[in-house]
Structures are given as C-alpha cells and as structure tokens.
Structure 1
C-alpha cells in the first residue's frame, strides 16, 4: 500500500537490499497466507532464476527473522516469519498489517452501507483509503511489481474508491471523496465507471466546468485510444453536468451511476433511453427473495460446493470481475428451489443493491410458462422504472434492465426455468452480479455459451433424510420407532418432496405412531396414493405431471413404456426394442427424458428411474396404452434380450459346447451389437442384474420358453464370470418356468444348468441330482449332444468328490457321444478332462499324451485360442510339473493364463496362477510364487473365498501336494 516499510516500537526497520524488500512485499501482500518457494522465485527472478535461487530466498528468510527479532539465534525459526508447508508466511494481524486493517475497515464500511448508514460508510471507507501511500509495493523492481499478486491489490483499492464514491453520492457528501476520486481517475484514465462517478461528484459539488471538461477529456481518450463512443452511463453523467441539477439526498443508488457495464452504448436500435430527469430518479433496493425454509437440512455439501465456486470466481464474494451464474438442476421434488433460496439468503449480504426473484413457471400446473417479457418488465418495475419509462419490445427492455444492473451488485434468482432461452433475457450484462437458476431441464447451452456452473441435485442420502425427519418431528419421536423410520426413508426414495409430504402427515397427526404411517406406505405397494399432498405443489403426481406435459409425444410414449422394464436399469438397445424405434432415435428420446430429469443416466447408455417416477410412469402406461400395446412392447423387449444372449453365446461358445435348441421362429428383433468376446463379456456385466427380473417377467407374461432359453444361452458367460449364485438363481427360475409350461427340453436344460452352477458353488450332492435328472430327460428326448455335455459335467462333480475313476468312465461315455455327434470341440474337451483326471491319479505320462491329443483336436475347431484350449495347456503344465519338467510346465502355464485372460475366464485363470505359483516355489523362485498366489487370491476372494484362504496359507506354509481341481 505504497513503499514497503516496517516499524517496531516506533522505530523503522531496515528491510535489506531491494530484492529482499521485494520478498517482504510478497509476504505482506499474502497477508498471513503461505508463500511457496515457487511463487517467490517467480516474482524475484521471473522465467530465468539462477541455480541458487532457493538458497538465496532461505538467506533472506534468516536475515528477515533477525531483523524482526534482534538477538534471534542463527537457524532459529522465530515467531513472526514461519515455515508452513512448502513455503513461508508472516504471522500478522489487523493490528500489525496495514493491508488487513484496510480490509477490515472496508468490510465495516460495506456493513454500514448495507444497513442504510452511508455517512458512516463514507467515514470508514475514508479511513481505509487513507492507509494507502501510493501503488502497492511501490519502490520494488518494476518487473516484480507488475506481478498479479500486487496488481490485484491496486484493483482492490480501485473497487473501494468506487464504493466510497457511491456512498458519498447517496448521502450528499460527494465533497468528502472528491480528491480521492480525482487522484484515482488520473491513474486510470480509461476507466469509464470511475469517471462517471467523478463527473457526478463534480456536478453535485458545484464544479460544473470541471465536470464538463472531465467528460470531454474522457470522450476524446475513448475515441483515440479505443475507437469507441461513450457509454450510456457516461452520456447520462454528461447530461447531469449540463443540467447542473442536484437531486434530493437518497440512500439508494441512482440510475445515472449505472455504468459498470461494457464500454459502449447499452441500448439497441430503437431503444428509447430515459431522459435526464428520469435518470436522476433514485433506484429502490428490491428484496424479493422468498423466505428461507426454517427446517432446511441435508444439503450442506451442495451449499459448500456453490460457495466455493462463488469464491473462486468472484474473489471471496468481493466486488468481483465476472458475473457468476449457477444452474441448479434435478428431478421434480428434489429441492432445487429450496436450495437456491437457502444459498441466496446466505450470500445476500454480499449483494447490497438488492435481490430479484421470479418464478418463471417453466413447469406449471396449467402448462403456461411465464413469457420473458413479463419477467423483464417485473424486474424493471422492481428497479423503479415506471411503465412510461419502459421501451417497447423484449430486446429493448432487456437492454434497459442490463443498464440498470450495471455497476450494481444484485442477486438474481430465476426459479423454475423451462430452458436456456427462457432465462437469457434476464441475465445481467455486467460484473458483480450473482444469478441462481433452477430448472428440471438440463441448461446445457447456458453452461456452454454463458459459462454457467451446473449443479445437479441428487436424492437425499438415508443419513440426510433421517436428519430431516429429526428436525421436523423431533429426535425423540424418530428415535422411538427406528424400524418405521427406516421404512419411511426407504419408500420415499430420498426424494425431499415425498419426505415432506409424509412428515406433514405425521405433524398433522402427532398421536399417530410412525409405524402406522410406514405400514400405509408398504400397503400402497408402489402406488403414489400415499404421496397425495394438500395442494398441487405438494402432490407427487401433479409435480411429476408438470414435467411429463412438456415432453414431445414420442418421448412421452417412451417414458410410459420404460416403466414396463423390470429394472433396475435399462440400456439404449433394450429401450429401442420397447419403443420399437431405431437405436439412434431411441437415444435422442432418452436424452430428452434425461434433460428433464425424468431419467438418470448413471453410466453411458444406462438409464434408471427413481422408484416414485417409475410408479408415475406405470400409472400412465396403464391409463394411456392398451393391454395389447403393453404386451407387444414387453414381448419386443424380451425378444431383444433373447437374441442378444444368443449372439453372446455364439461368441463365447462358438463350438456349441453348451448345446441349446434353436429359438422359436416368432422371436425377432435386433440384438445389441457384440463384435467380439470382450464385447459379450461387457454386455453380460452391464446387464447382469437385469436378467433375473427379465426372466421373472417372461414367466409372468406366459413366455416360459423365453425364461429358460435366456438362462441356457447365458450358461457360457455365467460359468466363466464367477457369478454362480446369480447363475443358480436364474436357472431355478428357468426350471420353474419350464415345469409350469410342461416344456421337457426346457426342464432338461434347466436341470443341467442348475447342476453346473451348484457344482461350482460346491453343493455337490444337489449338483449331481440335477445333472442326473437332466441326463434322464435328454436320453428320453434323444439329445445325444446334451447327454454328452451333462455326462462331462457329472464327471467333474465326481472328481470333486474324489471319485476320479468314476469320473474317467463317465467322461469316456461323453467322449463316445461327442464322436457319434461329430462334435470335435466336445471331443477335445472330454479328452482334456480325462487327461486331468489321469494326472490327479498320478498317471502323468498318460495325462501328457491325452492332453496333446486334445490340443490337436482344438486346432481343427473354431475353439482354437479359446478358454477350453487354455485349460488343456493347464493340464499339460500340471503333468509336466509332476514329471519334474518345471521349465516346460512354466511355459505351458503362462500360455494358459494369457488365453484365459483374453477370454475372460477368471476362475480358471486363478487356478492356473495358483498352480504356476506352485511350480515357481518348486524351483526355489519364492518371490515369483508369492506374486502368482497373490494374483490368484485377488480373483478368488470374490469368487471362491475358501480356495482363496488356502492360497493365502501358502505364504506361510509350503503345500505337501500341488494338486488342485479346476474346471
């Protein structure tokens, strides 16, 4: 705040050479905040620091500590100049640093100004500005002084001069700030808003000639240096000087001071500017914010996020150099308006020129959104404009609105906007204003073009929902019925509106137990009847309906049909099948629903309903779409899953090791595009939680064959994914469906799949029972290929129960059946299984021979490079290991692991890693062994915890046997 100087006990301190003084200036400018070494080097040396720069700064630190604290021992830290993080800071207070004293006085001045005490504000601003003795860091090298850390202090001073001038004009004491204004204007010859204040102050203190001369100099400078004409604010100040009128003292800003907008005229062609007399009418300070909600809770994280953004963009909510726009989005009833009003009240004191509010009715009971012209005229009236002063047309009115807000700090809350075009005419055009917008629509173009900061409100967490109930109902009432509270929170789904409706019911009936209200919600069974409020704004159906009515006809139809999907979420291709639309068109319609927050896109291409929105859509589909339309849509969706599962099976099981009958001819539709095995695995992973619900829905709609065929087609991916509980659940549904519809083939395939799933879950008795049921049915049906597959699965169960010789006999029978059917892949699989069982029995040479035969068969099939061939390499490796051929075993294991990873077979990959670890341990490479076991354990922890525990034990104890059973 002028030259860099310091005193101690009235004696000025010598701060050292110029560069050390520059370092002191940097510390002072940061006012107690740490200065990193990087910042210091940048300011002192710029882009070309010497190698010793950091050491030089540390010498400055030591020297300054001894200046501040004479007698301080060398290397002692002292109490004033402190090390913090990666830098240094001065421990300063308002009482010890002029910059902090300046800011404190300014804050007190603004507080007085907001309290309509402009005289006191002028006094405090004057004391603050008197602390300045020149430009910030005056006297240090020019290249250092030009750094933003110092220039921003000069900008801060400039902003305070303007605030002080405004206060002096409002209270009729312009002479008190006149000298300061003249000095500051000399330093900022092109600052129009500053010169507007100077001209007005000169006019109002009787210095008309100087005012007119100041205007003329400014007009010439603008033309010569910037090539522009004076702004409307500067022209208004000139007219005031010409009239030499002294308006009545007012505590509110004058329109004539509205000039902080962009340089140049702010009125468009045909805009009628108010005359000089009108411009001297004092502007009121509107205070239109709705009352803040007394029991607000649960959104502190969102509020903190918004306040951090405001601080980042407007300098701790100070004067600001930008207009800040926050666009708050979210589904109906999620609390957008409540949050916006809460934030507005928290920061309203930072906007002393008032708060404007309008409900734009973008989503209204009667579907009549407010026209922007009506909203602008309302704001103009709130700002003191009479209808006579308003120009015709939206464009001209919006221009006048922007002019009135120029050089003012106003908070504008635009509630319930329909879209970006709805709010654009209502955006201020100058710095220093805050705009909060709420909308159910995603205001994407406002974010992209106007720099709005988007915030999408999520549902309340259970914790925040509970806090809301506690605040409204009281801690005692909530604590006494915890189960009922949990039920209410769950069935409200985190939607604040639903929670508020139920809370209101509890408050209106204080003697009702919460368990009774919870029971009503449970009994409603997903119906919205339980959420009927007392009026339209507190009725969930009505509030959702405001969004629904804005949809295009196609999007509204898709919205209804999506409720027929059993969930929990739906992909783009399934949605397209439901709606019977091309995928691209469906994607556009889903985007429309997402923009309206009727759907949530939780991952790219995956969409989810809120439970209450789903209930609303389901009510609509039953009311507006016929039974036949609903049945047909469900059939299209089920067909889609079935044909996509078939596509997945053809990629993961190209040789048909998992045989399945052809789909019925009436099944049609396009599958989701799956190009390779990786795509098939991704599709399965994405849709995994949907399959069970889809199968149940198929049964409910009399399509039992869809249920068991879906389960059968998913056998290959279920086996290798490790989700065996899901597999068993799906096959149980399939078995029930096939039995219900007396479908022998379906019953047989469901028994077979269920037996395979149980075997992997180590339920060997149940597995064998189901496999034998399947075998009997396949024999009756004459299905040799399915018999072979089932016998091979039986062999695997037998070896897991230590019946290896029986396993060999069963598998040889399967091999014969595969040969009869001419199924090479099946023969290769059976040959490998026999090789494995022989190895487990200790016949290692026989195992090698049969494994080699298996590999030769795979090379003649489409299974080459697949997971089945990988298992044969694993068998070969295991046999080589026990024959002492460790190097060969290691090579075979690595080959198996690579192939298994490519094919997504995590379970068998873990088995090969485990056995490779055994081989490494046998050769003394214990580090490699531990690495292999660690990888295997990571996979198996999720899939097979008991095996994972065995592997972890190997870290402490070497195993006596390397045998491990695998697929």
Structure 2
C-alpha cells in the first residue's frame, strides 16, 4: 500500500502493511531508514499492541540467517525507529522479553481491513456490507510485507492472500444481493481465469450472467466448470451448483430476486434446539470473528472450541450461534454429550443421533434399528441443508464421529475440555482454544453483573478481584453472583474473602457454581499417574516448569512425563506456552495444590526433594561453566530418580540460568521451608556469577539473606563467612553502604578467627570494591593491596590477577595512573596465561579507563573494544552496558561522535532494561550534550 491516508482513518497516522511500508503524518511521509529497519517496523505493525519476543522478531526479520549480535542490531533498529516515530503517536516499548508497538489498530491498514470486514460480515444488510467491503479492499496497495522474504513473511503473505480472496468473494455476494451483477461480471470473469475450479466463484459467474440476460452463457459456463472438475479432480459439481444450474435451465423467477449463492433449501421440519442465548456476553471479539470467517466458507465447517472447565466454551458457542441464526435457515440441532458430567457417563452417540432424527420429524416407523443406519439417515436428512449442529461437552472424537454431517453446507460447533486432536486430523476441524478474559473484559463483566455504580465506587477492590480471578469467567461470575445476592456486602469485603480464602472462596454447594468442583470433573479423562503429576505440578517451585524439571518432580522417565503432560495439556489443565515448557492458570494451580494434599506426605516430600535437587545440581554445573576458576564446593548426591539437565557449554549454561532463574529462587524458598539448609546455602553460592552478569543485585541480596539464615543451622563457619561476605557485596551493589560495611567486617572477623587466609583475602577484595563504590578510594586501595599480598602468599595466580586489577583500578581512581597501569598490565598477563576470560575482560576495561584518563584515547578505544567483545561472549550484559558507556567517552574525546552516539544509545537501552534509572538518565544527558555539539 502506498500509505496514502484513507477516508475515515481516525488517527493522523496511516501505516501500511499491505504493501511497501509507509508511515505518514499529516500526509507527509515519515523517513523510516533502510529496508531491514523498515522490516522490523512491519513485523511490529503486524502484531500491533502485542508483545513480540525478541527472538521471534529476529526470526521473522532475518529467518535462518540472523546477523552477528542480532539482539544488538535489533536494539539499534528499534532505537532508530523510536526517534523516527516520535511525533506520530506510535511508540515501541520493551515489555517482558520483547517489544510492543502501541498504536490505534485502525491506523494500520491490515487491522483496519480486518475490522471493516468483520463489521461487514456482521452487519446483516447487503448495502452497508458492500460499502464496508469496498473500503476494506481499497486498503490493498501491493504485496503485503513487501520488505520481507523470510519463511514467516511468506507464510503470512499466503494467509493474507486467502483473507483477501475470501473478502472478494463475500463482496461479490453482497454486490449480487444489491443487483450489481453487471458491475461485478468483468471482475468475476478475470478471477475465473485464475481459479477455474472454484465452485463458489462459478456460481457467482452463472448468476451474474443470468441476471444480465445471458442465460445461454450461464449454462455454458456451468458445462465448462463441470468438465474441468471431472478432468482435473474426478468429481461432479457440488449439489448447490447443480441446483443453480437446474434453476437457470427452468428460468426460475426467484433467481431474478436478490438471493445469495448457494440458494436455500426447504425442509418440512425445521428444528430450533439451541438453548437460550446466555446473557450478558462479554468480549471474545477475536474468537467471534474467527467463527464468522470460518462459517462463510462453502464447505463443511467443524469448529472445536476447547478450554478448561469454567472458561466459557458453551457461553461463546451459544452466543455466536444466536447471533448468526440467519446463516442457518434450515434449523439448529443441539446435544449435551455430557463428556465431563459429574453425575453420569458420557452420552452414547447413538442416543444423540436418535434425538436428532426425532427433531428432524422422522416418524418412528421410518427409523432403522441399526445405529449405523440411523447415523446414515441423519446424514442424508441434513445433506445440502444450511444447518448448525452444536455438540456441547464432548468427551472424545469417537463420541462425535457418528454425529458429523457429510454435507458441505452445515456448520458444526463442538465444545470440549479435550483438545480433540483426532477431530482435527481426521475431519479437518478448526481448533479454537479459549484463554482467560482480558482485564477490560473482566471489568465489563463485573459492571454488567454487579452494576456500574458499585464497581466505580470501589475501584481498588475491583482491581484486586480481577487480579485474583485472573480473567477466569466462572470465577468472576461466582464473585459477581455473590455480590448480586448480597447487595449490602461491599466489594472490598468480597476481595478480602477471595484474598484470604483463595480457591475456597469460589466453592459452593451447587456444583455448577463451584470452581473446584467444575475443575474436578476433568479427572475422569486422566489416569492415576497423570492426575498425580497434575497434583505435584501445583506445588512445584516457580511460575512454570520444563519437561526435565517435571520428570524430576514426578520421578518418571522423560517419555512417561511427556505423555502425562500431553494428557494434561489436551485436557486444558496445563498449557504448553513455549515448546517444552508448561504453565497453569493461578486458580487451576491452586486447585492442583489442594489435590496434592490428598497424596501421602512422603510422596510430596520426595517429589519436592527431587525437583529442588534437579535445580541445585544443574545450577551448580552452570556456575562451574561460567566461573571455572572459582573454588568448587561439595554437593550431596542428587535425589534418586532425578537427573540434572545436561549443559554442554558456557552459552547453554547462561541460557538455562536465564530461563530458570525464577525457579531457582523459588527452589531456594522451598528448600528453606523444608529445612534443607545446605541446599539453601548452595543455591545462593551457585547463583553468584549469573546474578553478577545480569545485574540481579536485589535477587542476590535475597538469596544470601536466606543463605545466612541457613548458615546459622550449619556447623562449618566458612558458610557464615561467605554468607556475610556475599551479603555485604550485594548491599554495596544496591547502594546500602552501611549494611555492606557491617556484613563485610563480620566476615573479616570470622575469617581471622578461623585463620582462613583464602576468605580473609576475599573479604579484603570485597571491602576494596565496597569502599570504591562509596568514593573512598584510598581506603579501597589499602584493602585491595592487602588482598593482593595474601593471594601472592597463597600462590594462586588467578586470584592474584584479580587482586592486581583491583589495586590498579583503585590507584587509577586516585589518579595514580603509572601504578595503576603497571598492576593492570601484570593482571592481564596472568589472566591470559590462565585463560580467565572474565578476569581478562575486567582488566581490559580498567586499562581502557587508565588510557582515557591519561589522554591515550585511541588505546582506550582498543582496550574497551576488547573488553566489550569478552563481556558479550560471556553474556555479562551488566558490564556490557558500563563498558559501552566508557567507550563512548573515549570516542567522543577523539571527535568520533557517531560511534560514541551508537555506543551510548545501546548502553541506554541496556540500562533501561536493567532498570538502572540513574545510569540511564546520565547517558541520556550525554547524548543530548553530544547532539548539542553537533
């Protein structure tokens, strides 16, 4: 699309996805940079107002050939785009693990196209539908996502072309309804040449020709289509096309009226079995649009609506069905198959078939005795009818198969707590898995049920109710029903009850109004082993769980665990939100945790011991890969039936730690709660390098506080020394100087009492760093020198190199640059000799600082760039930001403003991601000063 502003665009910005990317402000184009940068914007526009994970963004833009340091390149592109879009109202922000572009969806042609088309299909009035369709189709101005040639883009283009083709077909129907046959005939003729086997298109051509007074041409077109179908596919025209042919042959007068292809079929008995439409109905606009679009197809449509108990499957299906009754003039059939009923077995499908035959007016003496013959009769009766068949609460595919029509004119809605993979594979069903309501939808539900005045009067209580219910429709409905029946009870009290009682607040004597009871009905479809795994998942540490951790938790093989997890996923009790990672809704997890208490205590304790050991031993292995020169500690053997996750190398270790960090923190809490004090201390130790490299200093503070508490129960005083020392170090990082000094002095006293030279030197090194953080560089230098003296006496060259760099850094901060350079150069030689890449990076950074402050800016750039490469390679993003900042100063001193600006922009992004607000503000000022100089 050219990006020219369309009539009716509500915003001052028009952004194009359906063609070459263009953004305009008040009609003027906004410069977007080079093609790859525009491709990043195109991907974000495609998912407007949603988070696109960084890795997914890289895959969509570069496919299988990302550039080196792809994340860094991506950050630069995003930063450039932010500046370009600053005045347009379009923003790009970092959220969680990805980027989100925020804009009015109507300002993006793709989303405006879809919105207009959905409105057209829901209008029920051909004139208005035609106007909306014309406006939607006018938004196409070329090849969608023209900037991209990746597998993702090619797949999306194919999908968008199908959307456009469906829109064109619908537009033709509406035009024919309006008597515009002469206008659409040239376009139909051209499209027929491109797709001569499209029977819907053939019917439209025949109808347009007939209404244009060209009966013979219409009949000839049918014969050509019939021959092509026979020659290329070996089939006859569909019944609807055959009927239209017959009506043209007989010059049916009704064809001159405004009718849509295919024509209606009459029925002596028109069943209307749908239960009453649920009220109120809130949200689910995307799901309704998918149902609308699918039901437009000229083929049998089977939609499998799946989700957990209480998520609103029947609610959605009935609302859509009642809203679209006009699409099913031949009737609607309904059956509750009781697949997950608390008081009965699933319905035999033969019983449902027999009920459908009765509804269709078949006399008893015409109904065959054999169930297979009854199913065949049912299929014959609904053939070529435009009917809706709703099959609620299905157990499995075998229960559904006899109830499926063979006619391409029917639509089948199935709801189930099972994923019904067999229905998808064997019958081409389209899956629609329901998630929880959005916050806005949850609030609208409460407003509708409780009343706007009560909701607006207690906004904080409403916010808490929405948060605690997590968008679960049944939970929200239970709370709302209680508020309705107790109008004098405040919503604040309802929120307090929900907060205090948790899942028990959503229980009730009425099974249908009890979330725990409704969830329990899913147990029927699971084996004892699968239900045990479900229960244990409720008490597992962390927000989600990997397959490897779940296997340790359950004490099963990976194969048996995967089978159990798939069964739970297919029952919508858990979600595989990432490949190999599983999560639960908070309320489902609370229910699982409650069922875990039905397990014997030894079973629960053993499961928690296994999963905590899994996290500890894998974390320890990762720490050894990150810091191979660190003095190791001894771990007890891992629990039986648990295996650590294999980590082949440094990148794998860093990736695993990044992914599992919340679970490692939770595992430490679990270990502390169960008095496994050695594990508590060891987990803190094993997280040290990762916390430093990622700047998780508040987390370091928390884990070492727990470790110090655990050390009080451990006999070895070294545990106390290390806990005090690491706790002091963490306090210093977060700017709590007094607490840092106190803990470090405690560590020093204990180390001296134990005559432990290794720990004494380590404490002096940390004291040096803590005093340097406070600007007390002379005192820092004294402690660094004492650490160096002890390490030299211990004859440990790696620790000696670390202390040499500390002395050099402190001397440099005091302006004693010759001393500083000599110590850092000596440190660099030792680090390189012993392959300590982390220590080498820190020392190179120190040398860069010394060079910059002695006027040797070119050498400073070289040292900083070497340090930066090492930090990037080791995943030390915290130090990457600091080195980029210092490198920018060296470039600026050389008058190299573009590299300085690029480095500071990347540092700014990292500081923001790391929530280092003061550093971010300082770099922002540096960039502003640099811009002012230019």
What's the TM-score bracket when you normalise by the shorter of the two chains? Answer: 0.7 to 0.9
CA-to-aligned-CA distance 1:797-855 (integer Å, 9 cap, x gap): 12222332332332232223333444332111111111222222223333332222212
**Contact 1:594-1:600 at 8 Å conserved across structures:** yes
**Contact 1:642-1:706 at 8 Å conserved across structures:** yes
Q: Looking at CA atoms only, which structure, 1 or 2, has the larger radius of gyration? A: 1
The separation in 1 between residues aligned to 2:131 and 2:638, in whole angstroms, is 79
Q: What is the deviation of 1:783? A: 3.7
The separation in 1 between residues aligned to 2:466 and 2:387, in whole angstroms, is 39
The match for 1:731 among 704, 707, 710 is: 704
The match for 2:376 among 374, 384, 399 is: 399
Helix, strand or coil: the match of 1:673? Answer: coil
- Report the TM-score when normalising by structure 2: 0.73
Instruction: Tell me the equivalent position of 1:934.
Output: 905
Instruction: Tell me the equivalent position of 1:358.
Output: 335
The separation in 2 between residues aligned to 1:32 and 1:809, in whole angstroms, is 79
CA separation of 1:801 and 1:38: change in aligned 2, threshold 3 A: closer
The match for 2:291 among 306, 310, 318 is: 306
**Contact 1:705-1:746 at 8 Å conserved across structures:** no
Instruction: Tell me the equivalent position of 2:177.
Output: 103
The separation in 1 between residues aligned to 2:240 and 2:777, in whole angstroms, is 97
Helix, strand or coil: the match of 2:710? Answer: helix
The separation in 2 between residues aligned to 1:339 and 1:790, in whole angstroms, is 64
**Contact 2:277-2:319 at 8 Å conserved across structures:** yes
CA-to-aligned-CA distance 1:153-182 (integer Å, 9 cap, x gap): 6513657999x9xxxxxxxxxxxxxx9999
Q: Does 1:289 align with 2:263?
A: no
The match for 2:193 among 130, 146, 152 is: 146
Q: What is the deviation of 1:741? A: 5.7
Instruction: Tell me the equivalent position of 1:661.
Output: 633
The separation in 1 between residues aligned to 2:320 and 2:232, in whole angstroms, is 42
CA separation of 1:562 and 1:32: change in aligned 2, threshold 3 A: closer
The separation in 2 between residues aligned to 1:939 and 1:501, in whole angstroms, is 44
Instruction: Tell me the equivalent position of 1:562.
Output: 537
Q: What is the deviation of 1:722? A: 1.2
**How many residue pairs were aligned?**
753
CA-to-aligned-CA distance 1:302-344 (integer Å, 9 cap, x gap): 3234324444xx2xxxxxx212222211111111110111011
Helix, strand or coil: the match of 2:339? Answer: coil
The separation in 2 between residues aligned to 1:31 and 1:553, in whole angstroms, is 54
Instruction: Tell me the equivalent position of 1:651.
Output: 625
The separation in 1 between residues aligned to 2:142 and 2:489, in whole angstroms, is 67
CA-to-aligned-CA distance 1:504-534 (integer Å, 9 cap, x gap): 222222333333333332331x3x3322234
**Mean Cα deviation higher: 641-650 or 487-496:** 487-496
CA-to-aligned-CA distance 1:8-44 (integer Å, 9 cap, x gap): xxxxxxxxxxxxxxxxxxxx99995687799999xxx
CA-to-aligned-CA distance 1:186-237 (integer Å, 9 cap, x gap): 6535999xxxxxxxxxxxxxxxxxxxxxxxxx9xx9999998899999999x
The match for 2:526 among 525, 542, 551 is: 551
**Contact 1:641-1:671 at 8 Å conserved across structures:** yes
The separation in 2 between residues aligned to 1:730 and 1:187, in whole angstroms, is 77
The separation in 1 between residues aligned to 2:232 and 2:904, in whole angstroms, is 75
CA separation of 1:705 and 1:227: change in aligned 2, threshold 3 A: closer
**Mean Cα deviation higher: 688-697 or 548-557:** 688-697
Helix, strand or coil: the match of 1:326? Answer: strand
The match for 1:429 among 388, 406, 421 is: 406
Q: What is the deviation of 1:740? A: 5.3
**Contact 2:375-2:403 at 8 Å conserved across structures:** yes
Instruction: Tell me the equivalent position of 1:439.
Output: 416
The match for 1:638 among 612, 624, 640 is: 612
CA-to-aligned-CA distance 1:830-881 (integer Å, 9 cap, x gap): 1111122222222333333222221221233242xx2221111112222233
Q: What is the deviation of 1:687? A: 2.1
Instruction: Tell me the equivalent position of 1:882.
Output: 853
Helix, strand or coil: the match of 1:549? Answer: helix
Instruction: Tell me the equivalent position of 2:772.
Output: 799
Q: What is the deviation of 1:292? A: 0.8
The gaps in structure 2 that reach 5 residues or longer are 1-129, 144-170, 244-261
The match for 1:500 among 477, 502, 505 is: 477
Helix, strand or coil: the match of 1:601? Answer: strand
Q: Does 1:813 align with 2:786?
A: yes
CA separation of 1:939 and 1:233: change in aligned 2, threshold 3 A: closer
Q: What is the deviation of 1:641? A: 1.4
The separation in 2 between residues aligned to 1:230 and 1:924, in whole angstroms, is 76
CA separation of 1:568 and 1:782: change in aligned 2, threshold 3 A: farther
**Contact 1:325-1:451 at 8 Å conserved across structures:** yes
The gaps in structure 1 that reach 5 residues or longer are 1-27, 42-96, 105-127, 165-178, 193-217, 237-258, 262-279, 315-320, 960-967
The separation in 2 between residues aligned to 1:634 and 1:223, in whole angstroms, is 65
Helix, strand or coil: the match of 2:508? Answer: coil
The separation in 1 between residues aligned to 2:571 and 2:432, in whole angstroms, is 14
CA-to-aligned-CA distance 1:138-167 (integer Å, 9 cap, x gap): 7x99878735699966513657999x9xxx
Helix, strand or coil: the match of 1:289? Answer: coil
Helix, strand or coil: the match of 1:602? Answer: strand
**Contact 1:330-1:456 at 8 Å conserved across structures:** yes
Q: Matches of residues 22-61 of structure 1 in structure 2 within 5 Å?
A: 32=134
Helix, strand or coil: the match of 2:305? Answer: strand
Q: Does 1:415 align with 2:415?
A: no
**Mean Cα deviation higher: 224-233 or 752-761:** 224-233
The match for 1:870 among 837, 841, 849 is: 841
CA separation of 1:847 and 1:233: change in aligned 2, threshold 3 A: closer
CA separation of 1:285 and 1:645: change in aligned 2, threshold 3 A: same
Instruction: Tell me the equivalent position of 2:741.
Output: 768
The separation in 2 between residues aligned to 1:346 and 1:29, in whole angstroms, is 22
Q: Does 1:188 align with 2:222?
A: yes
CA separation of 1:377 and 1:911: change in aligned 2, threshold 3 A: same
CA separation of 1:591 and 1:784: change in aligned 2, threshold 3 A: farther
Instruction: Tell me the equivalent position of 1:464.
Output: 441
The match for 1:600 among 575, 584, 599 is: 575
Instruction: Tell me the equivalent position of 1:950.
Output: 922
CA separation of 1:408 and 1:144: change in aligned 2, threshold 3 A: closer
CA separation of 1:100 and 1:732: change in aligned 2, threshold 3 A: closer
- Report the TM-score when normalising by structure 1: 0.71
**Mean Cα deviation higher: 811-820 or 751-760:** 811-820
CA-to-aligned-CA distance 1:936-960 (integer Å, 9 cap, x gap): 222123432212222222234479x
The separation in 2 between residues aligned to 1:281 and 1:954, in whole angstroms, is 77
The separation in 2 between residues aligned to 1:903 and 1:936, in whole angstroms, is 17
CA separation of 1:518 and 1:801: change in aligned 2, threshold 3 A: closer
Q: What is the deviation of 1:902? A: 0.9
Instruction: Tell me the equivalent position of 2:825.
Output: 852
Instruction: Tell me the equivalent position of 2:679.
Output: 706
Q: Does 1:905 align with 2:905?
A: no
Q: Matches of residues 653-692 of structure 1 in structure 2 within 5 Å?
A: 653-656=627-630, 659=631, 661-665=633-637, 669-692=642-665
Helix, strand or coil: the match of 1:328? Answer: strand
The separation in 1 between residues aligned to 2:660 and 2:606, in whole angstroms, is 22
CA separation of 1:387 and 1:859: change in aligned 2, threshold 3 A: farther
CA separation of 1:883 and 1:517: change in aligned 2, threshold 3 A: closer
CA-to-aligned-CA distance 1:915-949 (integer Å, 9 cap, x gap): 21111111111221121122222212343221222
CA separation of 1:418 and 1:160: change in aligned 2, threshold 3 A: farther
Helix, strand or coil: the match of 2:412? Answer: strand
The separation in 1 between residues aligned to 2:140 and 2:704, in whole angstroms, is 64
The separation in 2 between residues aligned to 1:475 and 1:234, in whole angstroms, is 52
